[in-house]
Amino acid sequence: METRPSLLFQPESQRFLVVDDEPHIVELLKDYLDLLGYPCETASNGRQALERIREDGNFTIVITDICMPEMDGIELMKAVKEIHPDVDFIAITGYTRQYRYTDVVKAGASDFINKPFDLDELQAKIDRIIRERKLREQLRALTRHDPLTGIFNRRYFDEKLAEECYRAWRQGYPLFLVMFDIDHFKEYNDAYGHQAGDELLRNLAEIMVSSTRHLIDLPFRYGGDEFALLIPQCGVNGVKKVVNRIFQRYAGLQADPTSLSAGVARFFRHDLDANLREDIDDLIRRADEALYEAKREGGSRLVFDPASL
C-alpha cells in the first residue's frame, strides 16, 4: 500500500509575545525579532500578557521576564500552560536568582537566558525551540492522517468531533456531519484490483479537500470506503452545494460501476444537563441512519436526517 503524505498538513507559523516591565528590553527584543522576520507583539507585565493570549491563542513562543509586578513570569507560565499547553517559553532571569532553574522549568519554560543577555545566544535558543516545534508538528501529523489517502483518520475524527461539537454549541453556530460511502466499491475492486481501489479512495479524498474550505470543513477517512466530513458555520443549502459538488467531481472520475451516497445530520444539544457525549453519539447515529437510507434507496444520492432540515 502506497503511503501518501498528509493533504491537510500546514506548516506552523511562529508568532512571538515579548513580556517585560522594562521598556528598553521590550523594544530591543521586538526590533531583533522583527529583524529575524518573526511577527511579534509585546506586553508590559504578566497579567497583560495573559489577557493577550486569552484573546488571541495563536502565539507559539513567549519570551518573558521572571520578575515583574502584578503577575510574575512563573505565574504567567503556569496560567498559560493550563489553556495553551503547546506554547513554548523562554524565561529571562536576572542576577538576583530569586528563582531556581528547577522552579522555572517546572513552571513550563522550554529554556532560559540571563540578563544581560547575548542576542546570538538568544537566537540559538529560539532556533532550537522552533526545530523541536517542527518535529512535534510532524509527529502529530503522522498520528492524525490516514496513510493511504492523506486526509484525517478515524482516530482524529473521534477527537476532533467532540471539540467541534463543543465549540458549535458554545458559540451558537450550526455544525453538520456528512457520512459518505462508495456504492459498489467491492465490485470495482473485484473488477480492477485493489491497487485501483486504493487509487479511487485517494481520488475521493483529493476531491473532498478541493471541494471544501481548507481547515474549516474537515474531511476524514472513517474506515474502508466510508468517509466523513464536518461542515461548521453553514446552512442546509450550503451543505447541499458542498455535497453535490463532491458528487459531481466524483462522477467525473467515471469509475463505473461506483457512485457516492451520503447521509447528513446536524448537531443538536437535546439536554443541557446530559453528558455532551450522548449528543455526539446521537449525531453519528442520525448521520449513519441517513446514509443507510440513501443506500437502501439505491445509492447515488444524498439523504438528510429529517430533524436536521
Q: Residue 222 in contact with residue 182, Cβ under 8 Å?
A: no
Do strands 175-183 and 259-266 pair parallel, antiparallel, or not at all (unpaired)?
A: antiparallel
Can you tell me the distance from the alpha carbon of 110 to that of 107, in angstroms, rounded to the nearest whole number? Answer: 10
Residue type, 138: Q
Distance set, CA 185 to CA 22, 79, 263, 293 (Å): 66, 51, 17, 18
Q: Which of 72, 225, 288, 305 is catalytic?
A: 225
Contacts of 69 (CB under 8 A, 6+ apart): 21, 45
Cell of 133: 516545534
Count the alpha carbons within 13 Å of 7 in the hemisphere toward its beta carbon. 24
Cell of 5: 503524505
H/E stretch holding 197:
helix 194-210
Residue type, 80: V
Can you tell me the distance from the alpha carbon of 142 to that of 13, in angstroms, rounded to the nearest whole number? Answer: 19
Cell of 53: 493570549
Q: Is-catalytic flag, 65?
A: no
Which residues face 19 on adjacent strands?
43, 64
Do strands 226-232 and 175-183 pair parallel, antiparallel, or not at all (unpaired)?
A: antiparallel
**Catalytically active residues, by annotation:** 225
